Structure 1
Amino acid sequence: MKFYYVYMLKCSDDSIYTGMTNSIDRRLEEHKLGLNIDCYTYRKRPLRLIYHQEFMQFDQAQFYEKKIKKWSRSKKLALANEDFELLKDLSICKNETNYKNFEK
């Protein structure tokens, strides 16, 4: 059975890279060696794996990767640190137009 992985790397400039692969060991080695000069992580080595999640279906992994890529740095770090309470707090909409800000 083939598995897919969504992963996050912490880069040397403190940025976070999110990606997806079907071979996490191979992909991490590619990042580490800097095989692709056009890759975001090429000039941001060394890298450290801070999170990964395994999926059995490509569609699930792809959906999750796209979702996480839109998240703030704080939310990504909360997920990587397994701080689910903070992740929940960071997920609450704080816009003025949120329905919770209107009197009933």
Structure 2
Amino acid sequence: MGGYVYILADFRRGRTYIGVTNDLVRRVYEHREGAAAGYTKRNKIKRLVYFEEHAEIEAAIQRETSLKRWYRQWKEALIEESNPDWRDLWDEIVK
């Protein structure tokens, strides 16, 4: 089974959250609706600004662990490579 690594943000260069899931649409929906208790709900972090698909969930988990260790500027550069305006990618994943 595959998996996804994703990054949510509250606004451009604001607070971010990195997560991993096997169902990106479901998980982002949970964050957007406040169904996921914790950091994202408390800080109103709802915008999907980056995601990667992996063939195996283990690879996605490993990548998430790696990204969480990155410096903030590296994470921002990663997001800006594919999404320079930090726009919400929700509409792209629900098509």
Q: Compute the TM-score of the two structures, normalised by the length of structure 1.
A: 0.70
Q: Once superposed, which parts of structure 1, at least 4 consecutive aligned residues long, lie more than 2 Å away?
A: none
- Kept in 1, the 8 Å contact 2:5–2:64? The answer is yes
Task: Give me the CA root mean square deviation.
Answer: 1.8
Paired residues in the alignment total: 81
Per-residue deviation, residues 32-90 of structure 1 (Å, max 9, x unmatched): 111133x210122252111100001111111100000011111111001118xxxxxxx
Q: Structure 1 pair 6/46, CA: closer, same or farther in 2 (3 Å)?
A: closer
Task: Give 2:40's aligned amino acid.
Answer: T
1:10, distance to aligned residue in structure 2 (A): 0.7
Alignment partner, residue 9 of structure 1: 8
Q: How far off is 1:28 after superposition?
A: 0.5
Query: Alignment identity in percent?
Result: 36
The answer to which structure, 1 or 2, has the higher relative contact order (CA under 8 A, 6+ apart) is 2
User: Could you tell me whether the CA contact under 8 Å between 2:8 and 2:45 is conserved in 1?
Assistant: no
Mapped partners of 1:8, 1:36: distance in 2: 15
The two structures have a TM-score, normalised by structure 2, of 0.76
For residue 3 of structure 1, report the CA deviation from its aligned partner: 2.4
Q: Which residue identity does 2:33 align to in structure 1?
A: L
Q: 1:66/1:46 Cα in 2 relative to 1: closer, same or farther (>3 Å)?
A: closer
User: 1:41-52 residue pairs with structure 2 within 5 A?
Assistant: 41-52=40-51
